[in-house]
Structure 1
Amino acid sequence: MVRSAEHIARSKALEIRVHPDGRYLVSGGKPFFWQADTAWEIFHRLDEDEVKLYLNKRAKQGFNVIFGVLFAEHGGSTLPNRQGEWPFHPKDPDAKEYYPDVFRPNEKYFEFVDFVINYAASVGIRVAIQPVWGNYVAGIYHRIEHYFDNVDAALAFGKYCGQRYPFLPYLNGGDTQRYWFDDAVFNARAGKPTRAPHVKIIDYGPVFEAFADGIVAGESSHRTDGSQPFITFHPTASWLPDTPEPYASHLFPHSKWLTIDAIQSGHSCALKYPPLTDPSIGTLHFFLAQNSVDHVREMYATSTRDGTLRPVIDLEGHYESTHYDFKPERDQWKASNIRQGAWQAMFAGAAGVTYGVNSVWQMNNLNSKSHPPIPHHTVSAANWYDELDLPGATYVGNITRWFLSRPSYFSRIPDQSILISDTFDRPVPDDDYDGKDAKLISATRDSNGKWLAVYTPVGHEFKVDTSSLNGDTLSAVWYDPRSDKEISAGSVESGRVVARPPSSGKDDHDWVYYVAAV
């Protein structure tokens, strides 16, 4: 397998690296704000014209990263891609059912992947590659054959990916856990395993380590400067009692390949699910979707404690136009929820934002004859192409522009100490579906004293200490995250300032207060 020099050069031009201070990302030596969209099924369910439609739209909206999985979650081993190709040659070509030989990738399938990656690069988008969905390693949310539950297969395919697609970001894991049941099916609606005759917790860490080792080995021939591939771990939002919470750094605390720390804050409104079938296991824990600020804070603090100083990102927050817990009888996450989670994460120190829509990640097409809607509880009632212009996609673009336009991008730090009034920073009770993101007043500032900012999600007034700014004259504005417009708040004096937002109320009254030294 030989990649063209043009292919390699195009990938290298879009490479993402960690800034020397450890908290930020750069590309081409310039600040890189991670504005990603989840398009997991792009290689499996779209044709060339649809790929162009999707990527052109996301590029216009400012997205610079999309997620795609090579061995698809839904139908990956029961449906070929739109070109009629399987990701791997079959073990038995004469068998009625497809069973992949995971040591023999199918060149024709990956020629379409090449097309997607190259077209994405032509419009300024990097494809973050998930080699295989996590259920092919460990059966988490629904049972899939464990084609990749062994080190040899993971190492071989990781190396194949690294050789073929160097300089792109890689997502290890795939909505999965390092520690899970022995051969159990987890029913996400019931919150309990449906088949666990001999409950045993398995550590699948060696398999995920092998994927990473393979990627590193595969890219080695392309890297002449001693740099390492960009690899993170995309966990699920749930975890078993007596196992680490699903932060990438908690699951893989000693792994040198872990470029950034990551979580999936997920889509759940429940902190805990009912006790599992086997009483010895206890209650399954879930991240609360609207507590992303706490999860980002923990990653940021972990990086400080262990001295790695990695960038931190929520790789999968709640999806817009998607029912809570994927249950159709419940409300849907709104654009205001997207804004609140994204701004809170950024003010807590995140290096970017990941967006998603339920219909889009699965490339749901209600009219498709070859790839109909997935028979799963996450199935969407909308077509993917009808939901590309949901307001949340614009709002995350506003966040990107706002942060990139701040002076001294690389000296931004989270700092709640500049707030000297109630910030509503309190534990969230089990029955509070709003979570902390919808209440917390949070602050960030330039460590060199050039500016500070405060985010108030529902327009509460607050008091802020501006004495950290270096200047006798300070200028303040209110920024509207919905309209991308600023309203002058006039000059303020150094010291304690009471700030009253232009409006207040639930959902669509969030504001950013920005004060800069003149």
Structure 2
Amino acid sequence: MKTYPTILSFFFLAMLAGSPVFAQLPRLKVSDNQRFLVTEEGKPFFWLADTAWELFHRCDRDEVGYYLDKRAEQGFNVVQAVALAEIDGLNTPNAYGERPLVENDPARPNPAYFEHIDYVLDKAAEKGIYIALLPTWGDKVFKNNWGEGPEIFNPENAKEFGKWMGDRYKNRTNIIWVIGGDRNPRENSDDVTIWRQLAAGIGEGIGGLEKGLMTFHPQPAKPGGSSNWFHQDEWLDFNMHQTGHCPNQPTYKIISHDYNLKPTKPTLDGEPLYEDHPNCFNAKELGHSVPDDIRRIMYWNVFAGAFGQTYGCHAVWQMYTNERKPINMPLRPWKVALDLPMASQVIHLKNLMLSRPFLTRVPAQEMVRTVQEDDQHYVIATKDSAGTYAMVYFPTGKAVDLDLSHLSGSRIKLSWYDPRTGNLYTDGTTAEKSGSITVTPPTSGGKGHDWVLVLDSE
């Protein structure tokens, strides 16, 4: 059983030690049923993250404030960012002319560089935002066919660097540690050992694995995500996927795979199709992503059992400006891209999930009786284990037969939730619990006609 000191105790101990007092948030932990994250007080935590991989590396303090203000206003509570960043993060200095390592040696971190990360962590906490902190991007372990590198890590110095970072940030309560950095371990290599040693070092630095949360950020993989290599590892508190940047994939299958593994661990998609991203990295033939595809992927994932969802924007992750070399054809500068449609629509998913009992929610695909193909029309259901409510996501407005016998109560109230606006439409329609009913959403006609049916037992 993990125990956590209170926020007040952190302030008290810091004052006694003469240490600086940080802005603090409630610590997060895995829920008792091992399916979700909760605060130390047991309050449900729906992970709603943004990918800002280059935040530490490319943004100055004014830009950090601008970014965090906007994302907090939009309802995000997690930001994913990298210390040893992807875009030549070792040799190109940050906004203040500092590089993270002396002579690119993991045993010689440059404190001046990490002081800027300290600042970002403080500002994030003030805004109610947790940082999913990657110590390094994966190209510092191996470049393969992309990434600047250089490759600097081995099992020994990975542990040493992890311990240094863990010790530096052991008193910060708004950190979730993310190992990996967009790389799948290679067979017949030291990769798995390096990542495990990095995790072990962090565990030592923070004073024990029970004092932090940790996961692994892979490339797209099957059948699972981080679980393919590390599911049995004690340090892996929850599984993370990267479902990739193609729009037409049954991402719910990947979530379901990890959801059903033993031991039970929470799971989520930590890198889905980004907004404004070239579809399948092929803008010329396939164009850029649209909100309808991103929305579908997110609802699929959460209804399949994910405890939250990460959002991403192609211009924002790289903090693109017109003065910087573009990566994979971003369409606009990052400050403009902060206001793209999905950045304001993802809050509706979070609000919907938290509007009903959250910690008892389970996948409920048995409620959908219509035989379905694994395509963009796939209708997916979730409910709570007591049957007090269910939610059914219709990506394209097609009609399906639903089995209501899995709900409690003699009658069921039907309402429609618009995932584009967050509006709930209730006209008093009810149905008998027994048997099945055919349900047709308010509109139909393909992408953009997605709806959530909310079923409440009466």
TM over 0.5: yes
8 Å CA contact 2:224, 2:254 repeated in 1: no
Q: 2:220 aligns with which of 217, 220, 237?
A: 237
Q: State the Cα distance separating 1:453 from its structure 2 match.
A: 1.4
Deviation at 1:297, TM superposition (A): 0.9
Name the residue aligned to 1:405: 355
- SS of corresponding position for 1:154: helix
Quote the residue 1:517 is aligned against: 457
Which one-letter code corresponds to 1:299 in the other structure?
A: D
Match for residue 34 of structure 2 among 18, 22, 39: 22
In the alignment, structure 1 residue 41 sits paired with structure 2 residue 59: no
**What corresponds to 1:416 in structure 2?**
365
Partner of 1:151: 155
**Structure 1 residues 8 and 177, CA gap change in structure 2 (3 angstroms):** farther
> Is the Cα contact below 8 Å between 1:162 and 1:219 reproduced in 2?
yes
Structure 2 counterpart of 1:300: 259
Cα distance, 1:474 vs structure 2: 2.1
Out of 312, 316, 330, the position equivalent to 1:356 is: 312
Give the partner amino acid of 1:419: V
What is the alpha-carbon distance in structure 2 between the residues aligned to residue 10 and residue 164 of structure 1?
12
Matched to 2:277, the amino acid is T
Aligned with residue 81 of structure 1, among 94, 109, 124: 94
| Secondary structure of the structure 2 residue equivalent to 1:477 | strand
SS in 1 for 2:258: helix
Q: Is the 8 A contact 1:236 1:246 kept in 2?
A: no
Distance in 2 between residues matched to 1:258 and 1:80, nearest whole Å:
32
**How far, CA to CA, are the matches of 2:409 and 2:244 in structure 1?**
42
SS at match of 1:350: coil
Counterpart contact for 2:105–2:152, Cα < 8 Å: no
Name which of 5, 26, 32 aligns with 2:14. 5
Identity of aligned residues (%): 34
2:8 is matched with which residue? none
Do the aligned partners of residues 172 and 158 (structure 1) sit closer, same or farther apart at CA in structure 2, a change above 3 Å counting?
same
Cα distance between partner residues in 1 of 2:199 and 2:433: 50
The Cα of 1:59 is off from its aligned counterpart by 0.4
- 1:251 aligns with one of 225, 229, 254: 229
Could you tell me how far 1:494 is from its partner in structure 2?
A: 1.2
Q: How far off its partner does 1:16 sit?
A: 1.7
The 2-side partners of 1:22 and 1:470 are apart by 24
Q: Does 1:493 align with 2:445?
A: no
Whether the 8 Å contact between 1:177 and 1:246 is mirrored in structure 2 is no
Q: Structure 1 residues 145 and 451, CA, compared in 2 at 3 Å: closer, same or farther?
A: closer
Partner amino acid for 2:363? P
Whole-angstrom distance in 1 between the partners of 2:322 and 2:158: 34
Give the drift of 1:54: 0.3
CA separation in 1, counterparts of 2:397 and 2:229? Answer: 37
Aligned-pair CA distance for 1:347: 0.7
Amino acid at match of 2:273: H
Alpha-carbon distance between aligned partners in 2 of 1:320 and 1:171, rounded to the nearest angstrom: 22
- Give the Cα separation in 1 of the matches to 2:231 and 2:182: 18
Residues 62-461 of structure 1 aligned to structure 2 (within 5 Å): 62-90=75-103, 100-166=104-170, 167=173, 168-179=175-186, 201-220=188-207, 227-237=210-220, 245=223, 247-268=225-246, 290-302=249-261, 306=262, 308-329=263-284, 330-367=286-323, 372-374=324-326, 376=327, 378-406=328-356, 408-422=357-371, 424-426=372-374, 436=375, 438-461=376-399
**1:500–1:415 CA distance, 2 compared to 1 (3 A):** same
Instruction: Return the alpha-carbon distance in structure 1 between the equivalents of residues 369 and 418 of structure 2.
Output: 23
| 1:253/1:24 CA distance change after superposition, 3 Å | closer
* Alpha-carbon distance between aligned partners in 1 of 2:453 and 2:314, rounded to the nearest angstrom: 32
Q: Any conservation in 1 of the 2:411–2:431 contact (CA below 8 Å)?
A: yes
AA aligned to 1:262 is M
Output the CA distance in 2 between the equivalents of 1:151 and 1:9.
34
**Is the partner of 1:315 in helix, strand or coil?**
strand
Contact 1:457–1:510 (Cα < 8 Å) also in 2: yes
2:73: which partner in 1?
Answer: 60
Q: Is the 8 A contact 1:317 1:356 kept in 2?
A: yes
1:246–1:21 Cα change, 3 Å: closer
Q: Deviations over 1:21-66 (max 9, x none)?
A: 0001102420000000000000110010100000000001110000
Greater displacement, 10-19 / 38-47: 10-19
Kindly state the Cα deviation for residue 10 of structure 1 after the two structures are TM-superposed: 4.8
SS in 2 for 1:290: coil
SS where residue 508 of structure 1 aligns?
coil
Q: 1:360 to 1:60 in 2, by over 3 A?
A: same
Q: How far apart are the structure 1 equivalents of 2:154 and 2:381?
A: 45
The alpha-carbon deviation at position 12 of structure 1 amounts to: 5.7
| Mapped partners of 1:509, 1:157: distance in 2 | 49
Cα contact 1:176–1:236 (8 A) shared by 2:
yes
Shift of 1:122: 0.1
Structure-1 residue corresponding to 2:446: 506
CA contact (8 A) 1:262 1:299 kept: no
**Residue 318 of structure 1 aligns to which amino acid in structure 2?**
L
* Matched residue, 1:191: none
What SS does the aligned partner of 2:260 have?
helix
- What amino acid is the match of 1:205? V
- Name the CA shift for 1:317/1:18 in 2 (closer, same or farther; >3 Å): same
- How far 1:179 moved relative to its partner? 1.1
1:163-185 CA distance string (max 9 Å, x none): 122341011000001116xxxxx
Q: State the secondary structure of the residue aligned to 1:161.
A: helix
Do the aligned partners of residues 9 and 513 (structure 1) sit closer, same or farther apart at CA in structure 2, a change above 3 Å counting?
A: farther
Paired amino acid for 1:298: H
Q: Report the Cα offset of residue 473 of structure 1.
A: 3.0
For normalisation by structure 1, the TM-score amounts to: 0.81
Aligned to 1:95: none
Aligned-residue CA RMSD in angstroms? 2.0
2:194 maps to amino acid: V
Tell me, what secondary structure is at the counterpart of 2:107?
strand
**Structure 2: which 5+ runs fail to align?**
1-10
Rounded to whole Å, the distance in 2 between the matches of 1:8 and 1:179 is: 42
1:233 is aligned with what amino acid? F
TM-score by length of 2: 0.91
The answer to whether the 8 A contact 1:373-1:379 is kept is: no
Q: CA deviation at 1:203?
A: 4.4
Partner AA of 2:227 in structure 1: S
* Residues 122, 392 of structure 1: alpha-carbon distance in 2 compared, 3 angstrom cutoff: same
